Chain A
Amino acid sequence: MKIVLEHLTKRFPNRNKKIKGDVIAVNDFNFTIPDGKLIGLLGPSGCGKSTALNLICGLEKPSEGKIIFGDTDVTELAPEKRGVGLVFQNYALYPHLTVYENIKFPLENLRGDKKLSKEEMDAKVKEAAKLVQIEELMDRRPNEMSGGQQQRVAIARALVKRPQVLLLDEPLSNLDARLRLQTREELKRIQLETGITTVFVTHDQEEAMSISDLIVVMKEGVLQQMGKPQDIYDDPDNLFVASFLGTPQINVFNGRIRNEKVLIGDAVVLDVKGAKDGEVFVAVRPEGFILDEDGPFECGYENREIMGRDTSLIVTHPDFTGEKIRGIIPSDAEVKISDGKVRFSLKRGKVHVFDGNTKERIRL
């Protein structure tokens, strides 16, 4: 089921009465979620991504705008009429019911001609349990299971009614690092197997990048960029998106454009045709640093961290805006240090230039 959001806006009244005006949690969202895809809503905490999810689900009513499922306008529809499955951050499994009863719960609510017989329910519960591989846990209570198992039960409960849309709110945030890796692959598998349009919310860019078909990056209620993970990573629209995606983080320098050349300090790092002079931010991906004795970009050498396959080189530069510059180089590379300095040339596709005021991308 395709989901279309049109001018979707959600305002909350401000709690602090001294400040006039509302808090805008979701600001004029316009995008289409294609059918059968896995979408990651990504943003720092408090950016309104959970509100966006609640709007799609129907637990919150939008202040303005429309939500369309397929061809139906569901904006005014109550959540239970929308045919969505929702997995909560804390799973919200009913603690007094067993796994079996938890999964069966939504089925027992079906009324009228949708009402199921006991056998049909049993079959559906077992099918859902099999999908998330928890068949042997049916008699357990939620507090007798690990976080990962509870997560699976929550997904099974959301899927048992075969919703047209599956929504997950921070599905992996309560799991430990190992389980998170495992579960996110699981999530991808379940989504592929069922083909249900799935939207999940996360603040972890790695999580979003690794399993999403499409990522929607948000900041302070405003949509920043939407696209395939790799596209957004390679081609960010603004400095926020560039900084938010990628580990280690992108390295941002104060720079300027003079005579169609990008300068950091006095070093000319790139040629740009047709760009206007002005102050800019130059952002370099860690993998954009190439060791080059004759390279234009000189940094102070500080440290190297060996991480097996790669080596992370920590260097300093007076125009750097953050704390540590990290460049990733192959671990067998020889680092030539002279006078405590090391020189680089920069890989063209890994350097992005942003306007010094608007922080919008200057396409080169």
Chain B
Amino acid sequence: MKKNLTAWLCLLPAILFLGIFMVYPLFDVFVYSFEEGYNFASQSFWGTGLYNYSYVLHDPFFIQALKNTFIIVIITVPLSTGIALLISLELSRIKVLRDFFQTVYFLPYVTNTLAVGLVFMILFKKTAYSDGLISILIQFFGGPSVDFIDGPYAAKMFVMCFYTIWIVMPFKILILTSALASVNEMYYKAAIVDDTPKWRIFYKITLPMISPMVFYLVITGFIGAFKAYSDEVALFGTDLNAAGMNTIVGYVYDMLYGNSGGYPSYASAAALILFAIVFTITTINLMVSRKTVYYQ
């Protein structure tokens, strides 16, 4: 009992802070989402029910945000993981200049977001003085002038996904190179002696051996992409609804503080919808992983 008391006392600060700043707000969000017509000023509401959910799900801005988020998730998670795996494999194979390339690939991780944003502006934004580097390149090859930041939806989405992939890549490469390095050399030697084709060594030995790390990256990648918001702001500014590039988290923020702000009930409902989506996807991931991921 005395031992228990010490343990609880040690845990108390964490429990208090988590309780006040995490658990209580979560509970509050849940409650808000069912309170209809909640008014910030008077702290009052008309009644309870599912109206908030219905409103959010019928809001064209939310539908747009949902669509954007899903596109970002579906494109960036597999692509970034796949490209990172490819780069890590090649990195682990070369000897000369390996450290150099490792540093190059890691640079985005330590680069200031504002600096990155500036670079992307130069690359993609059309201004009075320049069409943007990429657009100039496209025109050089006979293509049309494309405005990636304020132009067509596909162009904007391309920049968005490109940016997201680029920004999450360093961490994935870091994790995957260390995972690859931890695979014992003797498995490869054994496979070589047994005349195993290269693709089969990768598919049958390397991939299962690093599967826990790949799975970790996929799960965190999904969750991270579903929570995308700040990168969108960095590229398209704060009025994401006008740019048509809003995400679910962006929608939640706008409902709370944006131009159309002051609707905590709608924000809560949207947040809970996002939670349900992330929960479902993660559960599916876990179920798939049980069959495919090998833990030593």
8 A Cβ contacts from A259-296 to B: none
Given the contacts A96-B294, A109-B200, A80 and B187 also touching, CB distance less than 8 Å: no
A3 to chain B, nearest CB (A): 16
B205 to chain A, nearest CB (A): 6
B186 touches A59 (CB 8 A): no
Interface residues on B, range: 10 to 19
A57, A95, A96, A161 — which one has the most chain B CB atoms within 10 A of its CB? A96
Tell me, yes or no, whether A143 is within 8 Å of chain B by CB.
yes
Cα(A84)–Cα(B186), bound, Å: 16
Given the contacts A88-B186, A143-B296, A94 and B193 also touching, CB distance less than 8 Å: no
Tell me, yes or no, whether A105 is within 8 Å of chain B by CB.
yes
Q: Which of B184, B194, B296 contacts A80 (CB 8 A)?
A: B194
- Classify the secondary structure of B's interface with A: helix
Tell me, yes or no, whether A192 is within 8 Å of chain B by CB.
no
Cα(A161)–Cα(B190), bound, Å: 14
Provide the residues of chain A in CB contact with B208, threshold 8 Å: 94, 96
Tell me, yes or no, whether A106 is within 8 Å of chain B by CB.
yes
Proximity bits, A171-187, B CB within 8 Å = 1, else 0: 00000000000000000
B294 touches A59 (CB 8 A): no
A80 touches B189 (CB 8 A): no
Given A80-B196, A109-B195, 13 extra CB contacts under 8 A: A58-B193, A79-B193, A85-B193, A86-B193, A92-B189, A92-B190, A95-B296, A96-B208, A96-B209, A105-B191, A105-B196, A108-B200, A143-B296
* CB-CB nearest 10 A-B residue pairs: A80-B195, A96-B294, A106-B194, A92-B190, A92-B186, A96-B208, A86-B193, A109-B195, A79-B193, A109-B196
- A contact set with B: CB distance below 8 Å: 57-59, 79-81, 84-86, 88, 90, 92, 94-96, 105-106, 108-111, 143, 157, 161
What are 17 pairs between A and B in contact, CB < 8 Å?
A58-B193, A59-B192, A59-B193, A79-B192, A80-B195, A80-B196, A81-B195, A86-B189, A88-B186, A90-B184, A92-B186, A92-B189, A95-B294, A105-B194, A109-B200, A111-B197, A161-B194
B184, B195, B296 — which one has the most chain A CB atoms within 10 A of its CB? B195
Cα(A95)–Cα(B208), bound, Å: 9
B209 touches A80 (CB 8 A): no
B187 touches A59 (CB 8 A): no
Provide the residues of chain B in CB contact with A110, threshold 8 Å: 195
Proximity bits, B194-228, A CB within 8 Å = 1, else 0: 11110010001100110000000000000000000
Provide the residues of chain B in CB contact with A96, threshold 8 Å: 208-209, 294
Cα(A59)–Cα(B194), bound, Å: 12
A80 touches B190 (CB 8 A): no
Cα(A81)–Cα(B184), bound, Å: 23
Provide the residues of chain B in CB contact with A94, threshold 8 Å: 187, 190, 204-205, 208
Q: Which residue of chain A lies nearest to B296 when distances are taken between CB atoms in the complex? A: A95
